[in-house]
Structure 1
């Protein structure tokens, strides 16, 4: 007597195949696009660019957001007033909130919001030096 275990996922796949749900899939019988390639760390970026028809100069919004966080001091140093700095930080924090809950395309972002008082203090200090 042979005992075998079929997981819920395996059962669902088997039943779907028996119903013919995989018979007319797009690309059936064609090789996988990346088969045989060496592993690349940024494979998902290349795949996203290809799927979205984007150019190499375009990145997913969450990656652009990460870059904006890294460049925050440089960006606010170009602003002329404390109000502009606070508005910039508020807009950045709003985008960070959307990214944390998955409302933006791209890899997940777990960056905390930026403290406007800390950013303003740094902005003031750099202006006096």
Structure 2
């Protein structure tokens, strides 16, 4: 613990003397981060900087309210459908998010009031076709011909 500031000595002079003496004793040698730039130097100060830093360090995220999360999921689903390998996969992705949107219309979600419209499957598939014109749908594999068995096998003679 440091001594109290003596009377008659300027505050800044007293602090400067303590820092100088600590430096002479080597108390500032080998500190972690020595010689490295300060993180976030030059950024505007933020009132919640420490919360954001802790969330980054702990790899945490703040959950969005239900209505906003649904809108974000719908945007992601549309992007995934446009990038889908096949048209059937794109349709499946859009139908799944549309089912979730239909469910949300019947119940109250947290967050600001929001009615997420259903995604138009045909519009998304058309957008997918324009972005991926070279990718063709794989033709269904032909069914194997029926296996013919002789009548003798059925009766145990073959």
Normalising by structure 2, report the TM-score: 0.40
Higher percent of residues as helix = 1
Q: Give the structure with higher Rg (CA).
A: 2
Scaled by the length of structure 1, what TM-score is found? 0.48
